[in-house]
A and B are shown apart, each in its own frame.
Chain A
Amino acid sequence: MARYDSVLDLVGDTPMVDVSALSPTESVRIWMKLEGKNPAGSVKDRVALALVQAAEADGLLVPGKPDQFLLEPSSGNTGIALALVCRLRGYHLKVVLPDNVSPERRQLLELYGAQIIDSPGAEGSNGAVRRARALAVDNPDWVFLYQYANPANPAVHYATTGPEILRDCPEITHFVAGLGTTGTIVGVGSYLKEHRPGLQLWAIEPPSGEMVDGLRSLDDGYVPPVFTDADGAALLDRRVVVRPRESVEWTRRLTELGLFVGISTGAAMAGAVRCAGTVAEGDEATIVVISPDDGWKYLSSDAWSGDLDEVVERASRTIYF
């Protein structure tokens, strides 16, 4: 059915599209799950809704009660998704944001009514997390849902994203996703490995110290509790670094198939292509790769039309997700 009572009912059940035309191994198919089709535009819609629902179930948030404040450190998509959920549920959202994120996401946050608190861009997402933790200590009445440690984050991927993938692609042999909060890889990975024991789980990360794509390098000085609690290191089968140039190149290649997706999708696709390259020609394999969002929020980065060297230079200074 394509008729819904609320925008929040549009979250999840995203489509997959065949991107095998870009596979380096003919017998390996690659399917891309388009999380940009969520109502606020990213995979984080699932997480934001789950975080708020869990807080309501715990009594931490009470629907209809006035003057309830939420706090979130996010370089973009989670903040935007939470802003949507808070607008519809009647909560006030404060978002701690590195001051070098692209202008589109600032506007998106503001149009949904969120209040922005700046953190130094040079400190990246980690700086925003630190600032938010300090604010949470000073303002104990603000609800801090903290997606990096909140079990509702991987749980929603275990409950929705994972089952959708298995339903739509039962022949899956490999799952590839970027590392951010690690909620996607932990939640989807746990679900898929339970149902497809031989499945391989590939994590894609940006190089340490380079801010790009909304992927957080686990070596930048912070490992999310979501990852350690699930013994994520043991869950993974492979962990590869994808550099900004490769991310932008694959973001551009995807337009050949008509896909206008964010730069973190380019990084994930680069990882999927490397994964496909490890399978011998003639061996059947099916990779599912996550596309976290669409390209709209990255237009100001000139990622598609600008000189590649300049775009990569800018991408290493700005957070684009």
Chain B
Amino acid sequence: MAVTVRIPTVLRAATGGERAVSLDGTTVGEVLAKLVAEHPGVEDQVFGDDHSLHRFLNVYVNDDDVRYTGGLDTPVAPGDEVTLLPAVAGGAR
């Protein structure tokens, strides 16, 4: 069983409309690298210039924000759910 990655509305155009993608990997970084390899259109919104997690993307493993649990090195296991949610920082839009 692979890891399920939940895709937010704003990224679905780049995943062919897929709401969830099944991917293998042992860390968040590996899973996201596979996501980008399969759907190159999401790269700019997932990774920043220095290839770290994009500042305005929040990533959760089973509802836990990975910024506080080891970032891209956060381990994932088969059956885990990775959720991507874009954050809009700096005030109202």
Residues of chain A touching chain B, judged by Cβ–Cβ distance below 8 Å, are: 126, 129-130, 133, 149, 207-208, 218-219, 221-223, 225, 228, 233, 236-243
Q: Which of B63, B69, B88 has the most CB of A within 10 A?
A: B63
Contact between A233 and B93, CB atoms less than 8 A apart = no
State which of B60, B63, B65, B93 has its C-beta within 8 Å of the C-beta of A221. B93
Contact between B68 and A236, CB atoms less than 8 A apart = yes
Contact between B68 and A238, CB atoms less than 8 A apart = yes
Cα-based distance from A240 to B58 in the complex (angstroms): 11
The contact sample of 9 A-B pairs, CB cut-off 8 A, is A218-B58, A219-B87, A222-B93, A223-B87, A228-B89, A228-B90, A239-B67, A241-B63, A241-B64
Contact between A233 and B92, CB atoms less than 8 A apart = no
Which residues from 15 to 35 on chain B have a C-beta closer than 8 Å to any C-beta of chain A?
none
Q: What residues on A are CB-neighbors of B67 within 8 Å?
A: 233, 239
Contact between A241 and B90, CB atoms less than 8 A apart = no
Contact between A240 and B65, CB atoms less than 8 A apart = yes
Q: What residues on B are CB-neighbors of A228 within 8 Å?
A: 89-91
State which of B63, B88, B91 has its C-beta within 8 Å of the C-beta of A240. B63
Cα-based distance from A129 to B63 in the complex (angstroms): 27
Q: What residues on A are CB-neighbors of B92 within 8 Å?
A: 126, 129-130, 133, 222
Cα-based distance from A222 to B69 in the complex (angstroms): 23
Determine how close the nearest CB of chain B comes to the CB of A150; give it in whole angstroms.
13
Q: What residues on A are CB-neighbors of B93 within 8 Å?
A: 221-222
Contact between A241 and B60, CB atoms less than 8 A apart = yes
Contact between B87 and A237, CB atoms less than 8 A apart = no
Determine how close the nearest CB of chain A comes to the CB of B70; give it in whole angstroms.
12
Q: What residues on A are CB-neighbors of B91 within 8 Å?
A: 149, 222-223, 225, 228
Contact between A240 and B64, CB atoms less than 8 A apart = yes
Contacts known (A133-B92, A239-B68); A218 close to B87, Cβ less than 8 A: yes
Q: Closest residue to A148 on the B side, CB-wise?
A: B92
Determine how close the nearest CB of chain B comes to the CB of A263; give it in whole angstroms.
17
CB of B85 closer than 8 Å to a CB of A: yes
Cα-based distance from A242 to B64 in the complex (angstroms): 9
Q: What residues on B are CB-neighbors of A233 within 8 Å?
A: 67
Q: Which of B83, B89, B92 has the most CB of A within 10 A?
A: B92
CB of B41 closer than 8 Å to a CB of A: no
Q: What residues on A are CB-neighbors of B86 within 8 Å?
A: 219
Q: What residues on B are CB-neighbors of A133 within 8 Å?
A: 92
Q: What residues on A are CB-neighbors of B69 within 8 Å?
A: 238
Which residues from 45 to 65 on chain B have a C-beta closer than 8 Å to any C-beta of chain A?
58, 60, 63-65
Q: Closest residue to B91 on the A side, CB-wise?
A: A225
Q: Closest residue to B85 on the A side, CB-wise?
A: A219
Cα-based distance from A8 to B87 in the complex (angstroms): 37
Determine how close the nearest CB of chain B comes to the CB of A201; give it in whole angstroms.
10
Contacts known (A225-B91, A228-B89, A239-B68); A219 close to B58, Cβ less than 8 A: yes
Cα-based distance from A89 to B92 in the complex (angstroms): 30
Cα-based distance from A225 to B89 in the complex (angstroms): 9
Determine how close the nearest CB of chain B comes to the CB of A58; give it in whole angstroms.
21
Q: What residues on A are CB-neighbors of B8 within 8 Å?
A: 208
Contacts known (A133-B92, A219-B87, A222-B93); A237 close to B68, Cβ less than 8 A: yes
